Amino acid sequence: MDFRDTPEEAAYRAEVRTWLHANAQPRTSDEQRFGEGLDDAERISAARVWQRRKAEAGYAAITWPREWGGSGGTAMQQVIYGQEEERFLVPRMVFENSIGQCLPTVAMWAAPAVRERHVPRGIVGDEIWCQLFSEPAAGSDTGGIRTRAERHGDEWLINGQKVWTSGAHFCDYGILLARSDWDKPKQKGLTMFIIDMKAPGVEIRPIHQMSGDTEFNEVFLTDVRIPDANRLGEVNGGWKVMLSTLMHERLAIGGHLPTHLHRNLIQVARTARWNGRPALDDERVKERIANAFLSQHGVELIIARGLTALSQGKEPGPEMSILKLVAGRGILDIAGFALEMAGPEGLVAHQDLGREWSFLQQLWLSAPGIRLAGGTDEILRNVVAERVLGLPGEIRTDRELPFRELER
C-alpha cells in the first residue's frame, strides 16, 4: 500500500507539471475558475485551443489506445494529469463528454470509416460531442425512451425530444438513443446513432436550472435525417451500446467534486464570532468540519480504490455507486450548515463576504442537482443493493411486454 507516486508516476507528474507551467497560468485560489468574464463562445473557443494543445502534447486522451489516437497511457496517468491540471487556470469540462464517453463509444461501435472521420477530430478539439439519452418520460428509466427512429432506405428519420443534454448548444455531434421498434420489449427496441447537432430539424433550448446555470438543454428533433452509416452497433442493439457508454461515464464521475469543502467551512468560521465566542471554538462547528472532511476525503479515497482497481487491470465495480451518495448528501449538509451558521447574513447572495461564501452558496444551490444527475440517490441505492449486495431486483411488470402496450 502506497499513496505516494511510484517512481514512474512521479516522473510522469513532473513531466506534466513542467508542461502545464510552460503552457498555462496556475490558479491562485481554490475557488478561482477559468473563463470568468468570457462569454460562451469565447470559452468554447478557448477550450478548443487548449484541447488542441493538449492533443499535441499527448494529454488529450491519455488512456486511449494508440490506434484510436490516444497516448496508450494508464488510468493513473490520466488521474495525475487531472490532479495537476486542476491547479491551473484552463478550460475544463467542455470536452469531458467527448473524450470520456462519446468518442470511446464511437471508436468501439462505429464502422472504420466513420471512426476515422470523427475520432481524430474529436481529440484535437475540432469536434465537440454530447450525449442524447434522457427524455421527459425516460429519466431514471432509460428504457422508457420514446424518440422515434424510422428507417427509410439508407436513412433514419428521427422525431422526438431529449432533455438534460449537457452542452448541446455548443456541440457538433452527439450520440443518440432512439426507439426503432415499438413491438419489442422496452430495452430491446432501441438503436444508437451518431447525430449531427447542426442538422436540419435539431432545435436546442437551454434548461434554466434552479441554480441559475444553463449547462443542460432540451433538444427537439423533427424529421432529422441520419444516414444508416452513422448507426452505432446493431439495429435494436442500442441498449448494449448505451451500457458500454455508461461504463465509461462511471469511470469519469466523481472527478469534479469539490475537494476542499472542510477548508471552506474553516475559512468562513475563522473570522467570525458565534454566540459570543470565536466560531471555530464551537464544538458544533468543529463537528461539521470533521464530518465535511469525512465525506470529502472519503470520496477521494473511494476514487483511489477505483483507480487502484484500474491500475491492477480490473474494472471498478458497482460499488463505486456509493461515491455520489456520499458526495451529494455531504455537499447539501455542509453547504447548508455553512449558510445557517451566519443566520440572516447567510441569505445574502454574491456578497462581500468573499469567494468562499459565494462558492458555498452556489454549492448549496447545485446540491439537489448533484443528487439527481447521473442517477438519483434512489437508483444508486438500488444498484448497490442489487449488484453489490446481491439482493433481489425490483418487481418489474414492464420488461417483457411490447413497448407500445405499456400503459403510459
Partner 1 sequence: MNFDFSDDQRLLAQEVRRMLAETSTSTEIRRVLAGHATHSADVWNNLVGMGAAAAAIPEQFGGAGLGYLELCLIAEEAGRHLAPVPLASSFYLAAEALMRSGNEEQQQRWLPRIAGGDVIATAALADAEAWSTGPAPVFADGRLSGRFAVVPDAMIAGLLVLRAGDTLVLVDPAAPGVARHAIATLDPTRPCGEVVCTDVAAQALCGGERGAALCERVLNAAAVLLAFEQVGGATRILEIARDYALQRKAFGRQIGSFQALKHKMADVYTANELARVHAYYGAWALSCDAPELPVAAAAARVAASVAFNRAAEEGIEIHGGIGYTWEMDCHLYMRRARYLAQLIGSEHAWRTRLADALIREAA
**Which residues, at least 6 apart from 39, have a Cβ–Cβ distance to it below 8 Å?**
none
Least Å from the CB of residue 264 to a copy of itself:
21
The CA–CA distances, whole Å, from 385 to 286, 318, 321, 375, 394 equal 33, 10, 10, 14, 10
**Which residues, at least 6 apart from 114, have a Cβ–Cβ distance to it below 8 Å?**
106, 194, 229, 230
Q: Which residues bind a copy of itself (CB under 8 A)?
A: 275, 282-284, 287, 395
Among partner 1, a copy of itself, none, what does residue 235 contact (CB within 5–8 Å per kind)?
Answer: none
Among partner 1, a copy of itself, none, what does residue 378 contact (CB within 5–8 Å per kind)?
Answer: partner 1
Distance, C-alpha 289 to centroid of its chain: 27
Candidate list 188, 298, 355, 402; residue touching partner 1; CB under 8 A: 298
Distance, C-alpha 202 to centroid of its chain: 23
Q: β-strand 129-132 against 173-179: which pairing, if any?
A: parallel
Give the C-alpha separation, 81 to 70, whole Å.
14
Give the C-alpha separation, 364 to 331, whole Å.
7
Only one of the segments 61-69, 107-115, 234-242, 289-297 lies at the binding site for partner 1 (rule: CB under 8 A); that segment is 289-297
Total residue length of the chain? 408
Q: Which is nearer to a copy of itself, 36 or 394 (CB)?
A: 394
Among partner 1, a copy of itself, none, what does residue 372 contact (CB within 5–8 Å per kind)?
Answer: partner 1
Q: Does 404 bind partner 1 (CB under 8 A)?
A: no
Q: Which is nearer to a copy of itself, 195 or 341 (CB)?
A: 341
Window 323-352: residues binding partner 1 (CB under 8 A): 325-326, 332, 336, 339-351
Q: Which is nearer to a copy of itself, 290 or 349 (CB)?
A: 290
Contact between residue 93 and residue 252 where contact means Cβ atoms under 8 Å apart: no
Among partner 1, a copy of itself, none, what does residue 351 contact (CB within 5–8 Å per kind)?
Answer: partner 1
Window 7-26: residues binding partner 1 (CB under 8 A): 9
Residue holding cell 444527475?
373
Q: Beta partners for 216?
A: 166
Least Å from the CB of residue 276 to a copy of itself:
12
Q: β-strand 173-179 against 190-196: which pairing, if any?
A: antiparallel
Least Å from the CB of residue 203 to a copy of itself:
37
Candidate list 139, 201, 237, 255; residue touching partner 1; CB under 8 A: 139
Among a copy of itself, partner 1, none, what does residue 266 contact (CB within 5–8 Å per kind)?
Answer: partner 1
Window 23-52: residues binding partner 1 (CB under 8 A): none
Only one of the segments 29-37, 117-125, 176-184, 377-385 lies at the binding site for partner 1 (rule: CB under 8 A); that segment is 377-385
Q: Does 6 bind partner 1 (CB under 8 A)?
A: yes
In Å, the largest CA–CA distance within the chain is 77
For 294, the grid coordinates are 469525512
Q: Does 361 bind partner 1 (CB under 8 A)?
A: yes
Q: Which is nearer to a copy of itself, 199 or 401 (CB)?
A: 401
In the three-class reduction of DSSP (H, G, I as helix; E, B as strand; rest coil), residue 107 is classed as helix
